[in-house]
Amino acid sequence: MNFRHEWKHPINYADLLAVRQRLRAVAGPDSHAPEGKYFVRSLYFDTPSDTALREKLDGVNWREKFRIRYYNRDPSLIRLEKKSKRNSLCRKESAALSQAEAQAAADGVLDWMPDCGRPLVRELYRKMTCQLLRPKTIVDYTREAFVYAPGNVRVTLDYDIRTGLGCTDFLNSRCITVPARDAPVILEVKWDEFLPSVIQDAVQLNNRRASAFSKYAACRVYG
């Protein structure tokens, strides 16, 4: 998979209302959001010295992070994802996990990983054994997503960002999450070779600039 361009803009709720209306006029809804929005739950991994968090806060140009994710509180489809970042370019790799595999990874049970036949799972195994990568926190949020075929554009609006604090039992629907302190709405735009002007106009906001905001970092604010 090639790297894609990525913009992130922290915005407020009034901005969300404006951008949402513009996008509805020019772009289509994402196929994962038949009702216009969906719920995302992720479990993020990091090292004992918080390498992923520190590299994010320090603005390291080449970095990566691992997470396990499912949608709409339905754990029948779970994905292991690795997101790599190179300056303003990003790439996401993924592999399917069963509920039992996801729970095992969250619990630090690794013996099933080497022979699973999925390269990304084997990479996570190497980093859990060599770098001591382990689950750190749950990140919950609501997402509205739009797609535009020219340029393979995807625009998302993420809000109600919540943290599981130190909880990593992300398959437990009763796991309590709390609002991440001062977390804004996040407008994110991804595209391949070019960003069509109609989308540029739709997401344009006065006095808003691209920022390296991280939902994971925001959800680690409590530790």
Q: What is the pLDDT of residue 220?
A: 87
Distance CA 167, CA 14 (A): 32
Q: What is the pLDDT of residue 59?
A: 85
In one letter, which amino acid is 141? Y
Q: What is the pLDDT of residue 36?
A: 83
Phi, psi torsion values for 26, nearest 5 degrees:
-125, -20
Q: Show the tokens assigned to 212.
A: 């390296």
Name the pTM for this structure. Answer: 0.93
Distance CA 25, CA 138 (A): 34
User: Mean pLDDT across the chain, nearest whole number?
Assistant: 92
Alpha-carbon separation of residue 145 from 39, 41, 69, 201 (angstroms): 11, 16, 16, 17
Alpha-carbon separation of residue 75 from 32, 92, 171, 218 (angstroms): 15, 20, 7, 24
Higher per-residue pLDDT: 207 or 151? 151
pLDDT digits (tens, 9 = 90+) for 133-146: 999 999 999 999 99
Q: What is the pLDDT of residue 1?
A: 60
Alpha-carbon separation of residue 110 from 10, 11, 52, 100, 167 (angstroms): 37, 40, 21, 12, 20
- pLDDT at residue 34 is higher than 80: no
Q: Comparing 26-35, 92-101, 150-159, 209-218, which segment has the lowest mean pLDDT?
A: 209-218
pLDDT digits (tens, 9 = 90+) for 183-220: 899 999 999 999 999 999 999 988 766 666 789 998 98
Average of pLDDT values for 128-135? 97
**Residues in CB range of 43: below 8 A, 6 or more apart:** 67, 68, 69, 106, 135, 137, 138, 139, 168, 170
CB atoms near residue 207 (< 10 Å): 5
In one letter, which amino acid is 80? L
